Structure 1
Amino acid sequence: MADTKTGAQALIQSMINQGIKYVFGIPGAKVDQLFEGLQYSKDPRTPKLVVTRHEQNAALIAAGIGRLTGKPGVVATTSGPGVSNLTTSLITATAEGDPVIALGGQVPQDDLARLTHQSIPSKELMDAATKSSVEVQNADSLSETFANAYQTAVAPKAGATFVSLPQNVLSAAVTRPEIGAVPVVNQGVADEATVASIVAKIQAAKLPVILAGMRASANDVTAAIRDLLKRVDLPVVETFQGAGVVSRDLVANYFGRVGLFRNQVGDNLLKRSDLVITVGYDPVEYEARIWNTDRTGEVISLDSVVPEITTDYQPEMVVHADVAKTLDAIAAKLPSDWKLAPAVQTELTDLWQKFTDQAEVPAADDVHGIHPLAIIKALQAAVDDDTTVTADVGSFYIWMARYFRSYQPRHLLFSNGMQTLGVALPWAIAAALERPGQPVVSVAGDGGFLFSGQELETAVRLKLPIVQLIWDDGHYDMVRFQEIAKYGHDAGVDFGPVDYVKYAESFGAKGVRVDHAADLAGTLAAAMHTDGPIVIQIPVDYRDNLKLKSLLLEDVLN
């Protein structure tokens, strides 16, 4: 007689079949069979169980795995608040294109309609936060459900899926075999006539510009963009999630990142362009009603996702195809001797110099804290192209997005769809697990850091070499400076001080405070060689923040 499996065991085998490496989460009675199976499995291919200190952070780590690898990270929690605590993270992953599979425990099926302990309508709760939300009704369906959740999570646009697991389903016997590895679903290249039309439009344009969005940072798409730039000289503007698309050797083609406020050199370039080619662009990153206003040129949308058409975004040409293959076809068809007009090249050179000059660091004034550009300059000198830098949300992330250079895709991570506080440290944990031996830096403000700071214990337990910077100013400053710009004063943005050195030490991490700009370089250099996590508290001088909102372009939204 063949051995029977429980639903929990079949689910674990399904994860093995799909190549899942980690499961992040917090245990509870409704999922204890799953957690026991993960911890005590004899199969070396079983995903490693990583217990975290909050479900929201567990899901953010899983989303970080999804963003870094393109394959779903997995989070597992118990019923009731264990599931509801996932909501913010799953909404963030779905909005920002990060594949995640969330497994949520549920009360036994015969308790679903009763007012019992931790009974909530989990499936219905997660409908709005995910691409798909399913409650498994029979243990024999578990493997199929997981395989479909995997496929849905990675399909363009990638995002989160949720599987509700009633306790009795996990314990029930399974008779069906598990689903094997889900094949990659490939899209085709655009047809020859479409490619020829795009090439003709590029050749006819005076100033064609590439706007590289979130899906441009996929490895194959980035490689295709770089091959195109090596053949023809085109300016590129990145969104925040498109960071790193332009490599170091092609930096002359890089005209910065755009997002939030329409006042960057890249915004100026997009406005003046008579042909913007959006590659993997998603409106959640930077709405077209901001960057596409007052433009008269055409737009070509090249993406694996059909674009949302709005009053402000009506591309003259929509190409729904494999982006990398289509870019390769465009590059092959463009004449290698085609160039922008000499006058346009001169104009771009002047604009590029203006962009580069923006990063000049003001004279040090340590009495008021350290200037953002001084912190960025020191960090830039301390990292290499393989360093993963994760950014939380706050004033500092605008400074980082505008001035910190990154030359590899998905090595500088931002939450610019939901702007979710607390993402940086969980994403850094994901990066340290997925990219062992490579440096990882997490950057947060003193407001957002404490949304997920308890995961320092997780990083210490896993012995992860993460350098955590905290830009400390005592306010929710991204809100504060915008309130001052609008109303002349702020409201509801202040909180009390925290000694982050002692905070770090209480978790078993190292803590350092840097009060002088001159000490930053040495501190960061030493931090890069520290075993385990290190927290560096940096008092920051945000007096120049209003310049972040100053206008270079007329814009009614500002």
Structure 2
Amino acid sequence: MTEKLTGGEALVAALRAHGTDTVFGIPGTHNLPVYAALSRHGVRNVTPRHEQGAGYAADGWARASGRPGVCLTTTGPALLNAATAAAQAHSDSVPVLFLSPGLPLRHPGRGNGHLHEVKDQRAALDAVVAYSHRVTRVEEIPAAVACAFAAMATGRPRPVHLEIPLDLLDEQAPVTIAEPVPVPALAPALPQVRAAVRVLADAARPVVVAGGGASGAAGTLRTLAEHLGAPVVTTANGKGVLADDHPLAVGAGLHHRAVHDLVRDADAVLAVGTELAPSDLWSGPLDLPGTLIRVDADAAGVTANALPDIALVADAALALRALLEHMPAPGDAAPGARRATRARAEHREQARAEGSAHLGLTRALAGALGRDGVLAGDSTMACYYGALSNLPAYKPRSFLYPTGLGTLGYGLPAAIGAKLARPEAPVVALHGDGGLMFTVQELATAAQLRLPLPVVVVDNGGYGEIRDEMDARGEPVHAVDLPFVDFPLVARAMGCHGLRADDEPQLARALQAALAADRPTLIHLPESAAG
């Protein structure tokens, strides 16, 4: 049905037609016509205190829910504030739609000092997302939204930016709201399926490496691993794709020697939905003497970092289902289970040694989160040395972590998005003292929303990772120590509960109380008490 709508209303109506009921953003002079339309279409706006927080919250929403998140900013500095979050979403293959006004259609090309003027904000965002598109007519807006959602559902999910000239937001025109474009999942080519089946069926020592791209195929991946008797290791974003207490689960963390040894010994490796990226491997690529079979929805990604012997460019669930359908009867799974048990024991020993300073923390977190919880972690030592490999996960999309770009400040706003997407699940944010200061203002957002959200801050007095790297290089250690901040006092000033825990039992009790509280609770934990 065609209606005469303003550009702002056309945008919101199109979002609603695509299932959007929540956006994260801050009103500004140039996006007010969009805000005027939100409530009329049943779309809730969550107002973070900074646009970077809005982007991270939309990212957390998308990761936890499996649906695209939406970040709405105004022009210029607001959109550029969100650019880091957009780059993080692109790095970790998260579908987030970034929306902003742009300067007017007839704005002088060389600029004239207009409010929030940026030389070329569309180009700035285009550098860090899948694509950035500037519409030029009100009538185009619904189609642009439909195209963006279709793009985020095609192949590897990536963020998209739409720019709408601010004069179009108030302009009226006859508009037809486009229905969502059906995007069928990409099926694998049968010759590659048969080739992969022959290799896997004949393999004596198969191994599965699962990344974030396997999150929607967890059940099928488990069935195939059991059929093959194949140990399963996961990347950070794949954590929980196979429950950590499954007999074939080795754990998360591709950088450990146990994983490298397991893969080196394998005669077939099935890598599903992973780039095999340096940010997951840390210390160099995997040695892959066996046959490498890669499953990836992205034709470019399927050859990244390691050339496959057999490539299945396809949706992970469809590819794994096709492999199962063509697989002969299962053989003896006992040898695979024994290999998984040995590798898991070695992996956990290495993980415990690496994360020894944070084992009490991870035990307390495990007790609080149970089997259904979500941890939103920051790029902090407590997360990548502690929680990544030592915190058990039982479901996909339960470990939200800024892997590739490695941004600071992600955890708290991402936890807000995750809690709004999954209100029934226990959600905890994990930060270091340095990283929290990048987005500490989002405590006020969580307090305004009355979220029962524990925010654990592990305090090592500064940027501990960089301090250690300076020391390891034999260089002067400087510019990394941060003066003491009374984080519980800061939290209380923003409407949260705030307290300090000095050992594991205190932390465990604080987490349980925080999950039942009437507002967020910041828990300040000295690093000496995290072990």
TM-score if structure 1 supplies the norm length? 0.88
Distance in 2 between residues matched to 1:24 and 1:183, nearest whole Å: 26
Query: What is the 5 A alignment of 1:352-367?
Result: 352-358=344-350
- Structure 1 residue 125: Cα displacement: 1.1
CA shift digits 1:118-153 (9 cap, x unpaired): 121111111111111111111111111111112122
Distance in 2 between residues matched to 1:309 and 1:188, nearest whole Å: 15
Residue 367 of structure 1 corresponds to which residue in structure 2?
A: none
Pair 1:14–1:378, CA change in 2 (3 A): same
Residue 31 of structure 1 corresponds to which residue in structure 2?
A: 31
Query: What is the 5 A alignment of 1:527-542?
Result: 527-541=514-528
In structure 2, runs of 5+ residues without a counterpart are none
Distance in 2 between residues matched to 1:203 and 1:327, nearest whole Å: 14
Distance in 1 between residues matched to 2:421 and 2:530, nearest whole Å: 38
Residue 373 of structure 1 corresponds to which residue in structure 2?
A: 359
Alignment counterpart, residue 468 of structure 1, candidates 431, 437, 455 = 455
- Structure 1 residue 423: Cα displacement: 0.9
Distance in 2 between residues matched to 1:311 and 1:537, nearest whole Å: 40
Distance in 1 between residues matched to 2:211 and 2:193, nearest whole Å: 20
Alignment counterpart, residue 445 of structure 2, candidates 458, 465, 475 = 458
Pair 1:283–1:371, CA change in 2 (3 A): closer
- Structure 1 residue 61: Cα displacement: 1.0
- Does the 8 Å contact 1:139/1:172 carry over to 2? yes
Residue 549 of structure 1 corresponds to which residue in structure 2?
A: none
Residue 433 of structure 1 corresponds to which residue in structure 2?
A: 420
- Structure 1 residue 112: Cα displacement: 4.3
> What is the aligned residue count?
525
Distance in 2 between residues matched to 1:146 and 1:216, nearest whole Å: 27
- Structure 1 residue 528: Cα displacement: 2.1
Residue 254 of structure 1 corresponds to which residue in structure 2?
A: 249
In structure 1, runs of 5+ residues without a counterpart are 363-369, 545-558
Is the counterpart of residue 273 in structure 1 residue 269 in structure 2? no
Q: What amino acid maps onto 2:482 in structure 1? A: F
Is the counterpart of residue 110 in structure 1 residue 116 in structure 2? no
CA shift digits 1:256-293 (9 cap, x unpaired): 2225xx33422321222222111001244646795545
CA shift digits 1:357-390 (9 cap, x unpaired): 456699xxxxxxx941111112112221111111
- Does the 8 Å contact 1:288/1:312 carry over to 2? no
CA shift digits 1:321-375 (9 cap, x unpaired): 2221221222233344413574x6544433333334456699xxxxxxx941111
Distance in 1 between residues matched to 2:338 and 2:14, nearest whole Å: 57
CA shift digits 1:72-107 (9 cap, x unpaired): 211111111011112111111111111111111222
Residue 334 of structure 1 corresponds to which residue in structure 2?
A: 327
Distance in 1 between residues matched to 2:215 and 2:94, nearest whole Å: 12
Partner SS for 2:403: coil
Q: What amino acid maps onto 1:526 in structure 2? A: A
Residue 181 of structure 2 corresponds to which residue in structure 1?
A: 182
Residue 100 of structure 1 corresponds to which residue in structure 2?
A: 96
Partner SS for 1:182: coil
CA shift digits 1:477-526 (9 cap, x unpaired): 12222332332763321111111110110011001101123422222222
Distance in 2 between residues matched to 1:506 and 1:289, nearest whole Å: 39
CA shift digits 1:406-442 (9 cap, x unpaired): 0100011111110111111111111111111221100
TM-score if structure 2 supplies the norm length? 0.93
Pair 1:96–1:503, CA change in 2 (3 A): same
Residue 474 of structure 2 corresponds to which residue in structure 1?
A: 487
Pair 1:314–1:542, CA change in 2 (3 A): farther
Q: What amino acid maps onto 2:129 in structure 1? A: T
Q: Sequence identity, in percent?
A: 29
Alignment counterpart, residue 392 of structure 2, candidates 394, 397, 405 = 405
Pair 1:307–1:287, CA change in 2 (3 A): farther
Residue 59 of structure 1 corresponds to which residue in structure 2?
A: 55
Partner SS for 1:27: coil
Instruction: Give the aligned CA root-mean-square deviation in angstroms.
Output: 2.4
Distance in 2 between residues matched to 1:517 and 1:51, nearest whole Å: 34
- Does the 8 Å contact 1:64/1:427 carry over to 2? yes
CA shift digits 1:24-62 (9 cap, x unpaired): 1111111111112214x2x4xx21011111111111111
CA shift digits 1:213-254 (9 cap, x unpaired): 110122xx112101223433210010000010112552x211
Q: What amino acid maps onto 1:174 in structure 2? A: A
- Does the 8 Å contact 1:382/1:525 carry over to 2? yes
Distance in 1 between residues matched to 2:352 and 2:245, nearest whole Å: 22
Partner SS for 1:37: helix
Distance in 1 between residues matched to 2:342 and 2:180, nearest whole Å: 52
Partner SS for 1:188: coil
Distance in 2 between residues matched to 1:381 and 1:195, nearest whole Å: 41
- Does the 8 Å contact 1:258/1:267 carry over to 2? no
Distance in 2 between residues matched to 1:361 and 1:247, nearest whole Å: 22
Pair 1:542–1:532, CA change in 2 (3 A): closer
Query: What is the 5 A alignment of 1:179-258?
Result: 179-191=178-190, 193-218=191-216, 221-247=217-243, 250=246, 252-258=247-253
Residue 369 of structure 2 corresponds to which residue in structure 1?
A: 383
